[in-house]
Amino acid sequence: METPIIEMKNIQKHFGSVIALSGVSLSVYPGECHCLLGDNGAGKSTFIKTMSGVHQATSGEIFFEGKPMSFSRPREAITAGIATVYQDLAMIPLMSVTRNFFMGNEPTKKVAGISFFDHKKAADITMAEMKEMGINLRSPDQAVGTLSGGERQTVAIARAVHFGAKVLILDEPTSALGVRQTANVLATIEKVRKQGIGVVFITHNVNHAMVVGDRFTVLNRGKTLGTAKRGEIEADELQNLMAGGQELAKLEIR
Amino acid sequence: MKLSKLFKSTALALTMAVPFAMVTTTAHADGERYVLVSHAPDSDSWWNTVKNGIKLAGKQMDVKVEYRNPPTGDLADMARIIEQATASKPDGIITTLADFDVLSGPIRSAVDQGINVIIMNSGTPEQTREVGALMFVGQPEYDAGFAAGQRAKGDGVKSFVCVNHVISNTVVAERCRGFADALGIDLGKSMLDSGEDPGEIKNRVLAYLAANPKTDAILTLGPTSADPTIAALKENGMAGDIYFGTFDLGTEIVKAIKEDIIKWGIDQQPFLQAYLPVVILTNYDRYGVLPGNNINSGPGFVTKEALGLVEKYAGEFR
Amino acid sequence: MSQTQTAATPDERVKTRSSFHQLLIRPELGGICGVIIVFAFFMLTAMDSGMFSLSGVMNWSVVSSQFIIIAVGACLLMIAGEFDLSVGSMIGFAGMSIALLSVTFGLPVWSAIILTFILCMLIGGLNGWLVIKTGLPSFIVTLALLFILRGLTIFGAITATNKTIVGGVRDVAQGDWLAPIFGGKVFTGAFQWMADQGWIDTFSRGVKKGQPIVEGIPMLMVWALGLVIFGHYLLTKTKFGNWIFAAGGDAQAARYVGVPVNRVKIAMFMFTAFCACVFATAQVMEFGSAGADRGVLKEFEAIISVVIGGALLTGGYGSVIGAALGAIIFGVVQQGLFFAGVESSLFRVFLGVILLLAVILNTYIRRKITGEK
């Protein structure tokens, strides 16, 4: 069995007296789409923020490519290859697609000893990557505000992939989208997965999860209710687990 | 799109309205053209008398006189206005010399370009000579303050507070210095920086008098500080009791003199400061005649006994 | 569910736009239109008033340059998502600092200037640090600084000299090496030559008789041009410029992708302070004195210029060129109304109308760009 890219073992996170996570474990293999399901307030956000270095776990272990690792800030996680795409914070609408795409990772060229933003290179890469993802831009200067919600998510995903993400965490990418846009985003996830990138797909929509998921982990009130493989579990069961977890025993067999 | 419609119609309305507005304002009088530049911010109502003075003089002499001032009272902006007045090639410029460092350059440049300049209101005869202006029409501020101080000393005043609403104008502050020197006391703690807002001035005066109840006299430097001070005295019951003198006149000041709240007002007669330069410049341009000396437009002490005409024209010509 | 939609087919709902339209929807459009309208207007109404004589042009150019200097700083800061209301007070403070250090305390002028720049940029940095640390709107934090700096300026001047206007800077600046960088003039030889050829007006009397009325290009204008070029390149052509847009567009999103938002914002506060300091130094060197009330309301003049120039008050969008055009409109209108013989109190009316028109036009353009409804 190959090593998971990232493995979170028994993660606990306390905020003062509030226990947000009490022992959650999750692993992601290359080319796998791992769906993290849970109702609002289940601890999904806290968990992925721990994974992406925004929060530090109170206890528990994180293994990255088999080695123990702890991230003290997001930048470290990004450098290691853990990219996160947040639902409503993915893109800046007023800025062009190109500027968004390279935000924080601007290509530069030196002119007379001063380094400048290499607009041509950035524009070319952006156009090519967008085409790859199935989005036809009018021009690389087109503002992100003119894109649909699904397209914005896609740009954000493409950006993460381009900058060498090994694990891609998607925070509710489909929750605010219409049917067709959701389909586009799910298609994008599929594409990314095939490139050998591990995807953590956070959602509370079981139907979306069933389309692309290889494994499913359900969170409820800061606890994991176990992980199931594709084909081992039905949509209704997942739905029930998210709602209350009455069928915990049945799942723990795995 | 709704907004684009709005935009188009506003733009259309503006382009149509603007030429009409212009026709009325660009019609020049046939005679000479003069520009009066003051240092006063838009909020200073005292300068209305000056505006009326140039209006009347312009009418009588059949010349065009324009009034300009820096909207916020920033003297650096005033320097630009003088430069700009010079560039518009008027027959003469009448300006105050509120800060010699800032204004002397632009004024001298105007003089050197062949424009006649008369200094009014602020400045000294020496500075007037130095920038090459024809003459100075105004009130020697230190002397006026000193005269007022002597008068107050004769009335038994030993301490005072100077309510200064134009702390940045060094020339006006000379009035307080003259007053203090005549009383023989140190100005330092007697100077109250009141700001220009009537509410603030009133409250600062109240606070000062509460903290220094032994203050004998109040000296205000113009209607801007006098009017709120009157209100403050009426509020704390010191009206008529405390010795109160003021520079310059205005409707409220005249009323307060009548009510025995203000002992005297020192009139520097701004009307003359505006009216005379226009008349002098016009006659100089037309016939080459020029008075041989500077003109002191003040100080004239206005007391309750001599209020008749003053009351009638207060805020307009007085 | 269709997972086969991979081919990049053009969306039939997205209209292709002509390159003319592309040209139209730029942040600077409002500024360009405004400049054309304003100049056409004054050409018609004030052509023979001296406004377009050499000294007239110099007059409104200098005023516009002053606005440009503070507008560039305000523009970059506004794009980075913050305001600085303490610019006007900073101008008064910086001027007074130079005058006090050099005249009253006897430091060489160059060191007074350098110390003042350092001090101002530290205060700018403090502005930024306070905004970041407290999380309060910069509007409030810098409003506090507006009062603090103005009060300190008056207090310092009164305590040290008993006056609120400190003069004599010109005398101590004689022969200083740094002072001419702010208060000097360039191309004086060329102007003298043009005067000798009889192409431009000369003084007709006094000690300067025969010298040109316009002696040269004031350094103020050189600074304005330099700052515009610097600001424009920084914003559009560098990595840091992209961070400025990102910090103002959505600070959180920018942080998530690793943009050092706090550093960017603090740097922009410092740059704004730097611009205010340039303004103040040039003013003090030109007029030879510093007044405690210098620069009152200049922060709004800067912000108005920036807004006329197409920047968005909420940040993330704007252009330095636009801000410069806005400053030119502001300066030309302010000085031009006089040449046109309009009553000076109407200046504010015109300014208000222009501001309103500019904001309406810019909002319209921005919606076109971003496709907002």
Confidence of residue A23 (pLDDT cuts 50, 70, 90): confident
> Can you give the pLDDT at residue C149?
95
- Half-sphere exposure for B8 (CA within 13 Å, toward CB): 5
> Can you give the pLDDT at residue B9?
53
**Looking at the domain assignment, is residue C19 inside a domain?**
no
> Can you give the pLDDT at residue C228?
97
Mean pLDDT of chain C: 86
Whose tokens are 């982990």? That residue is A217
C164: burial class by Cβ within 10 Å (0-12, 13-18, 19+)?
Answer: buried
Q: How far is it, in rounded angstroms, from Cα A182 to Cα C229?
A: 45
- H-only helix segments in chain C: 19-24, 29-46, 54-79, 87-99, 109-134, 138-161, 169-172, 179-183, 188-196, 219-237, 239-249, 251-256, 261-287, 298-308, 320-339, 346-370
Domains of chain B: 29-139+270-298 (3.40.50.2300), 141-267 (3.40.50.2300)
Query: pLDDT digits over A102-113, tens only?
Result: 988 888 888 888
Percentages (nearest 5) of helix, strand, coil residues in chain A? 35, 30, 35
Q: How far is it, in rounded angstroms, from Cα C351 to Cα C363?
A: 18
Pairing state between β B217-220 and B191-193: unpaired
Query: pLDDT digits over B174-217, tens only?
Result: 889 899 999 998 887 788 888 778 888 888 898 888 888 889 99
Query: pLDDT digits over C75-100, tens only?
Result: 999 999 999 999 999 999 999 999 99
> Can you give the pLDDT at residue B23?
38
Please tell me the pTM assigned to this model. 0.80
Nearest to C97 by CA among C309, C291, C334, C328: C291
User: How many structural domains does chain C have?
Assistant: 1
- CB atoms C56 and B84 under 8 Å: yes
* Residue A89 DSSP code: S
- Compute, in degrees rounded to 10, the torsion defined by CA atoms A60, A65, A68, A71: -80
Confidence of residue C12 (pLDDT cuts 50, 70, 90): very low
Q: Which residue has the higher pLDDT, A59 or C208?
A: A59
Whose tokens are 């307080």? That residue is B176
> Can you give the pLDDT at residue C320?
95
> Can you give the pLDDT at residue B38?
92
**Looking at the domain assignment, is residue C205 inside a domain?**
no
Kindly state the average pLDDT of the residues C202-223: 84
Mean pLDDT of chain B: 84
- CB atoms C364 and B68 under 8 Å: no
CB-nearest to A104 from C6, C14, C257 is C257
Q: How far is it, in rounded angstroms, from Cα B142 to Cα C199?
A: 47
- Chains that contact C by 3+ CB pairs under 8 Å? A, B
- CB atoms B113 and C53 under 8 Å: no
Chain C CB contacts of B84 below 8 Å: 56, 59-60, 335, 338-339
- CB atoms A108 and C239 under 8 Å: yes
* Residue C175 DSSP code: T
- Flag whether pLDDT at C319 surpasses 50: yes
> Can you give the pLDDT at residue B27?
38
Pairing state between β B33-37 and B64-68: parallel
* DSSP secondary structure, C60-119, as one string: HHHHHHHHHHHHHHHHHHHHTT---TTHHHHHHHHHHHHHIIIIIS---HHHHHHHHHHH
Kindly state the average pLDDT of the residues A145-174: 86
- Flag whether pLDDT at B22 surpasses 60: no
> Can you give the pLDDT at residue B250?
80
Whose tokens are 């046939």? That residue is B30
**Looking at the domain assignment, is residue C106 inside a domain?**
yes
Chain C CB contacts of B88 below 8 Å: 49-51, 56, 338-339
Q: Considering only B240-244, C124-128, C356-360, which range has the smallest mean pLDDT?
A: C356-360
Q: How far is it, in rounded angstroms, from Cα B57 to Cα B146?
A: 32
Whose tokens are 């720049």? That residue is C117
Q: Considering only A208-212, B55-59, B272-276, C299-303, which range has the smallest mean pLDDT?
A: A208-212
Kindly state the average pLDDT of the residues C138-161: 91
Q: Which residues pair with C166 in a beta bridge?
A: C290
> Can you give the pLDDT at residue C221?
94
- Flag whether pLDDT at C21 surpasses 80: no
CB C42 within 8 A of CB C340: yes
CB-nearest to B71 from C45, C335, C347 is C347
Chain A CB contacts of C259 below 8 Å: 103-104
Q: How far is it, in rounded angstroms, from Cα C304 to Cα B304?
A: 50
A173 preceded by a cis bond (ω within 30 of 0)? no
Nearest to A226 by CA among A243, A249, A210, A208: A249
Kindly state the average pLDDT of the residues A206-232: 85
- Flag whether pLDDT at C152 surpasses 80: yes
Q: Which residue has the higher pLDDT, C206 or A160?
A: A160
Question: Which of B34, B81, B168 is the best substitution to test chain C (most C C-beta atoms within 10 A)?
Answer: B168
Which H, E and C letters describe chain B, residue by residue? CHHHHHHHHHHHHHHHHHHHHHHHHHCCCCCCEEEEECCCCCCCHHHHHHHHHHHHHHHHHCCEEEEECCCCCCHHHHHHHHHHHHHCCCCEEEECCCCHHHHHHHHHHHHHCCCEEEEEECCCHHHHHHHCCCEEEECCHHHHHHHHHHHHHHCCCCCEEEEECCCCCHHHHHHHHHHHHHHCCCCHHHEEECCCCHHHHHHHHHHHHHHCCCCCEEEECCHHHHHHHHHHHHHHCCCCCCEEEEECCCHHHHHHHHCCCCCEEEECCHHHHHHHHHHHHHHHHHHCCCCCCCEECCCEEECHHHCHHHHHHCCCCC
Q: Considering only B133-137, B213-217, C203-207, C296-300, which range has the smallest mean pLDDT?
A: C203-207
- Flag whether pLDDT at B44 surpasses 60: yes
Q: How far is it, in rounded angstroms, from Cα B92 to Cα B66?
A: 11
CB-nearest to C292 from B66, B105, B168 is B168
> Can you give the pLDDT at residue C370?
67
The SS3 call for residue C168 is coil
> Can you give the pLDDT at residue A200?
92
Edge-first strand order for the sheet with B160-164 is B191-193, B160-164, B217-220, B243-247, B264-267, B300-302
- Flag whether pLDDT at C1 surpasses 50: no
Kindly state the average pLDDT of the residues A10-33: 87
Kindly state the average pLDDT of the residues B48-52: 89
> Can you give the pLDDT at residue C23?
59
Query: pLDDT digits over B220-274, tens only?
Result: 998 889 999 998 998 888 888 899 999 988 888 888 998 899 999 998 888 999 9
**Looking at the domain assignment, is residue C173 inside a domain?**
yes
> Can you give the pLDDT at residue C9?
46
Kindly state the average pLDDT of the residues B114-133: 91
- CATH number of the domain bearing residue C264: 1.10.3470
> Can you give the pLDDT at residue B17?
47
Q: How far is it, in rounded angstroms, from Cα B114 to Cα C283?
A: 26
- Flag whether pLDDT at B53 surpasses 70: yes
Q: How far is it, in rounded angstroms, from Cα C278 to Cα C223?
A: 8
Chain B CB contacts of C343 below 8 Å: 25
Chain A CB contacts of C245 below 8 Å: 92, 94-95, 99
The dihedral sign for the CA sequence C250, C251, C254, C256:
negative
Rounded to 5 degrees, what are φ and ψ at A161? -65, -45
What are A228's two structure tokens?
Answer: 């199931």
Q: Which residues pair with C217 in a beta bridge?
A: C186
**Looking at the domain assignment, is residue C166 inside a domain?**
yes
**Looking at the domain assignment, is residue C88 inside a domain?**
yes
CB C298 within 8 A of CB B112: no
Q: C221-227 — which CB contacts under 8 Å span 24+ positions?
A: C221/C61, C221/C62, C221/C65, C222/C186, C223/C65, C223/C69, C223/C182, C223/C278, C223/C282, C224/C64, C224/C65, C224/C66, C224/C68, C224/C69, C224/C72, C224/C324, C225/C65, C227/C68, C227/C69, C227/C72, C227/C73, C227/C275, C227/C278
- How far is Cα of residue C195 from the mean position of the Cα atoms in its chain? 32
Confidence of residue B168 (pLDDT cuts 50, 70, 90): low
What are C311's two structure tokens?
Answer: 């920047």
B20: burial class by Cβ within 10 Å (0-12, 13-18, 19+)?
Answer: exposed
Whose tokens are 């007391």? That residue is B303
Indicate where chain A has its CATH 3.40.50.300 domain(s).
6-91+147-252
Question: Which of C55, C159, C348, C370 is the best substitution to test chain B (most B C-beta atoms within 10 A)?
Answer: C55
> Domain of C339?
52-183+227-370
CB A167 within 8 A of CB A28: yes
- Flag whether pLDDT at C133 surpasses 90: yes
> Can you give the pLDDT at residue C345?
72
- CB atoms B74 and C213 under 8 Å: no
Give one word for C187, left, alpha or beta, with left for phi > 0 and alpha for psi -120 to 50: left
Confidence of residue B29 (pLDDT cuts 50, 70, 90): very low
> Can you give the pLDDT at residue B153?
92
> Can you give the pLDDT at residue C86?
95
Whose tokens are 């309301």? That residue is C297
- Compute, in degrees rounded to 10, the torsion defined by CA atoms B142, B147, B148, B151: 160
Nearest to B233 by CA among B197, B208, B267, B196: B208
Question: Percent of chain A beyond pLDDT 90?
Answer: 8
- CB atoms C60 and B84 under 8 Å: yes
The contacts of residue B45 (CB under 8 Å, 6+ apart) are: B223, B224, B250, B315
> Can you give the pLDDT at residue A254?
44
> Can you give the pLDDT at residue C4?
41
Query: pLDDT digits over B67-121, tens only?
Result: 998 888 888 889 999 999 999 889 999 999 988 888 999 999 999 999 999 999 8
CATH architecture of A6-91+147-252: 3-Layer(aba) Sandwich (3.40)
- Flag whether pLDDT at C306 surpasses 90: yes
Question: Percent of chain C beyond pLDDT 70?
Answer: 92
Rounded to 5 degrees, what are φ and ψ at A197? -95, 140
The contacts of residue B312 (CB under 8 Å, 6+ apart) are: none
ipTM confidence score: 0.79
Q: How far is it, in rounded angstroms, from Cα C166 to Cα B253?
A: 33
- Flag whether pLDDT at C352 surpasses 80: yes
